Structure 1
Amino acid sequence: MPLTLYSVSDGPPSLAVQQCLKYLNLEYSLVNVDFGRGDHMTKEFELKNPQKEIPVLDDNGFQFGESNAILQYLADKYPKDSTLYPKDLKERALVNHRLCFNLSTYYRYISEHVMAPIFFDYKRTPLSLKKTHIALSNFNTYLKRNGTKYAATDNVTIADFQLVTATMCLEAIDFNFSEYDLVQQWYDTYKQEYPELWKIVERGMKEISEFEKNPPDLSHMVHPIHPVRK
């Protein structure tokens, strides 16, 4: 029975997992969860993920959410090489750190500035802008200290999948982050070296860019967690 991924078409965590599945050449069924309609808030979806968050992976009845955990699981169960999720303790620690950094700071701050104001009743503020610059500065510093081509090592790892999808949110709204030269270099390198993976990300980016110009009406969403724009 193939893997099944419950995904949202423009969701960075979902796109990170899709990149991993593509990199590993894994066959899977893709189930699009309609975020705008609130499919993730239904009782049916709650059985798959009590957190009512996307993505969710189903591996022959074994279901779980949290994109970081999904990436780690896939890379360990279906290894293609020794670099995507290295076994060396220090290298793996750096990969895990970058995954945690993305969750706690990088994507969190970028999402608060980019995604929340598009989809819900939040505003972009000087504080959300400041936090976005903090996230970019942190990442730039990590790249400088590590001196590697990619986020954790000289090879692409599962951490890059998350960080790339977070960064594309900035590109989607034409946010200029070129002052963070190493982040820009890393981002451009990924696009050039992994064009097939970037295509997955780019599709989501185009959706976000369109929503930036024409915010979706989520007033009919079933039991939204965040305040809906009036």
Structure 2
Amino acid sequence: MTMKLYAVSDGPPSLAVRMVLQALNIPYELVNVDFIAGEHMTDEYAKMNPQKEIPVLDDDGFYLSESIAIMQYLCDKYATNSNLYPRDANKRAIVNQRLCFNMGFYYSAISAHSMAPIFFDYQRTDMTLKKVNNALNVFETYLRDGGKKYAAADFLTIADFGLVSATLCLEAIGFDISSYPLVQKWYETFKQENPELWEIGKGGMLEISEFENNPPDLSHMKHPFHPTRKSKV
């Protein structure tokens, strides 16, 4: 049975998982979830993921949600010796730390400033901007103190996929990261040295940019935590 990934084409968590699948050369069927139509809110989708969030991996009937868990699973099951998710305990710990940093601190701040005003009834404020700059400053510190080429090592790891997928949201809305030279260098290095992977990210980034300029009408949609959704005006 062909592995399936239920994903959204511009969703950073979906993009990160697609990068792992591409990097590991794992064949899979990409199933586009129509976020605008609310396909992720159906009872059928909830059977795969009660959180009704995207993405979801279907590996021969084994359903797994949460992009970090999916990336770790793919490496553990299909690429046990890959540097993408090192076996060495110390190296893996740094990768895991960067993954957690992205999920709970970096992407959460970036998403609130870039994605939420497009897809939810939120506004960009001085506080959301402050949190983005704080997140970038912390990432700059990690890159400086770590002294590595990539986010967690001198080689590419799954931590980079999540962080790149978050950072591209800033590019999509025209946010200038040049005040964070190490973050900018890391981001450009990823693009230049991993063109096939960046092609995935670039596609999502361009879609977000299009939505930024032409916000979708989501007033018909409901979400368990955000009952009203409006297009940005």
Deviations 1:38-73 (A, max 9, x none): 111110100000000000001110001000000000
Distance in 2 of aligned mates of 1:223 and 1:102: 23
TM-score normalised by length of structure 2: 0.96
Deviation at 1:224, TM superposition (A): 5.9
Matching of residues 58-69 of structure 1 within 5 Å: 58-69=58-69
Residue 12 (structure 1) aligns with: 12
Residue 96 (structure 1) aligns with: 96
Gap runs ≥5 in structure 1? none
CA contact (8 A) 1:37 1:222 kept: no
Residue 140 (structure 2) aligns with: 140
Percent same amino acid at aligned positions? 63
CA contact (8 A) 1:102 1:162 kept: yes
Residue 37 (structure 1) aligns with: 37
Residue 154 (structure 2) aligns with: 154
Deviations 1:117-144 (A, max 9, x none): 0111100000000000010000000000
Matching of residues 162-181 of structure 1 within 5 Å: 162-181=162-181
CA contact (8 A) 1:41 1:224 kept: no
Q: Which amino acid aligns with 1:95?
A: V
- Higher alpha-carbon deviation: 220-229 or 182-191: 220-229
Q: Which amino acid aligns with 2:180?
A: Y
Gap runs ≥5 in structure 2? none
Distance in 2 of aligned mates of 1:25 and 1:223: 35
Tell me which of the two structures has the higher relative contact order, counting C-alpha pairs closer than 8 angstroms and 6 or more residues apart. Answer: 1
Deviation at 1:207, TM superposition (A): 0.5
Asked whether 1:25 is paired with 2:30, we answer: no
CA contact (8 A) 2:222 2:229 kept: no
TM-score normalised by length of structure 1: 0.98
Asked whether 1:195 is paired with 2:195, we answer: yes
Distance in 2 of aligned mates of 1:70 and 1:44: 20
Deviations 1:143-195 (A, max 9, x none): 00100000000000001000000000000011001111110000000000000
Q: Which amino acid aligns with 1:206?
A: L
Distance in 2 of aligned mates of 1:15 and 1:207: 12
Matched residue SS, 1:176: coil
Aligned residues: 230
Distance in 2 of aligned mates of 1:144 and 1:120: 35
Residue 120 (structure 2) aligns with: 120
Following superposition, which runs of at least 4 residues in structure 1 exceed 4 angstroms of deviation?
none
